[in-house]
Structure 1
Amino acid sequence: MRFGLTKWSPSAVDRMDPFEEMRSMQDRLNQLFGESETGGGWMDIDTFRPLADIKEKENNIIVTTDLPGIDKKDVNIDIKGNRLWISANTQRESEEEKEGYLMKERSFKRFARSFSLPASVTEQGSTAKMEDGVLTITLPKAEEEEKHRIMIE
């Protein structure tokens, strides 16, 4: 019997990067199709999942997230109860003419994120601002419903 680290021993698993195999496969496909990591792939679709900051301040919940390169007209914000959904789809097309040939490129970027908020919020009085690629959403907390006790006869 052989002792030591195996592929499945706990200390080997702790150091294992679960995405390494996917990166390796992508590198092999890029080599097969003659493409580099810098882009120019035959399918240029990016999905963003940027980080967000959520904080409670007085009677509001403030959500801030970075959406670089996305226009505010492409962003959708939905709320229900204590759940917030932010999504965006944007499509860009560029055209370049070089030495007798025309090169057209299209890219599609999408972003979707949902959050459970620390309290129920209301749409009335909510604001959203997009400045320099940073989306800031201010959501007023909903009035808590009064609890009613029911007496047993």
Structure 2
Amino acid sequence: MTLVKFAPSKEMANINNRLKKFFEDFDSPFFTDWGKNFNFNTNVFTPRVDVTEDNDNLYVHAEIPGVDKKDVKVSVVGDILTISGEKKSEQRDENKNYYRIERTGGSFSRSFTLPAEIQVDKISAESKDGVLVISLPKSEEAKVVEKQIEIK
């Protein structure tokens, strides 16, 4: 019986090269609309979101470049904040050959459970430079209060 040295790093490199080649093929002009052949929804837009807080407010920053503020809806029901809307897709020129199409549009909706009680009547939202900023003032009960405890 002959022992053969097993080199897992070589096998992993081989798998990595095969996967890399597989995904590079999708970048070729022949695969520009590959998702349409499989009924994949290639018209997806999902805004990226940061949620932060300080002692007085929660803040939600949502990236919505190219979305008109009239196409965005912000609502709060109970402790659920929902941001929804639609990013319009650009019309494609039938006289042009497209080699890559990455900019997408479509409807979107993001919902978040708020981690604190909010003063719903004081919520504000502003859209500037493609970023939607929602300020959610905390109720007095939700604010952090520091109290010094006497040691006896």
Instruction: With the length of structure 1 as denominator, give the TM-score of the two structures.
Output: 0.56
- What are the superposed Cα offsets for residues 64-111 of structure 1, whole Å, 9 maximum, x if unpaired? 2221111111111121333211122122342647xxx589xxx63233
Cα 1:86–1:24, aligned 2, differ >3 Å: closer, same or farther? farther
- 1:90 is matched with which residue: 87, 92, 112? 87
User: How big is the alpha-carbon RMSD for the aligned residues of Structure 1 and Structure 2?
Assistant: 4.1
1:134 and 2:143 aligned: no
The 2-side partners of 1:27 and 1:46 are apart by: 21
Q: Show the counterpart of 1:55.
A: 53
Question: Where does 1:22-61 land on structure 2 (aligned, <5 Å)?
Answer: 34-36=30-32, 42=36, 44-58=42-56, 60-61=57-58
Contact 2:47–2:63 (8 Å) recurs in 1: no
| Number of equivalenced pairs | 124
The 1-side partners of 2:133 and 2:106 are apart by: 20
1:110 and 2:111 aligned: no
Contact 2:86–2:108 (8 Å) recurs in 1: yes
Contact 2:82–2:111 (8 Å) recurs in 1: yes
Q: Show the counterpart of 1:76.
A: 73
Contact 1:44–1:108 (8 Å) recurs in 2: no
**Unaligned runs of at least 5 residues, structure 2:** 13-18, 98-103, 143-152
Looking at secondary structure, tell me which structure has more strand per residue: 1
The 1-side partners of 2:23 and 2:70 are apart by: 33
The 2-side partners of 1:141 and 1:126 are apart by: 9
Q: Show the counterpart of 1:121.
A: 118
Looking at secondary structure, tell me which structure has more helix per residue: 2
The 2-side partners of 1:110 and 1:126 are apart by: 24
Q: What one-letter code is carried by the residue in structure 2 that aligns with 1:55?
A: E
Percent identity (aligned): 29
Instruction: With the length of structure 2 as denominator, give the TM-score of the two structures.
Output: 0.57
**Unaligned runs of at least 5 residues, structure 1:** 6-11, 13-20, 146-153
Higher relative contact order at CA 8 Å, sep ≥6: structure 1 or structure 2? 2
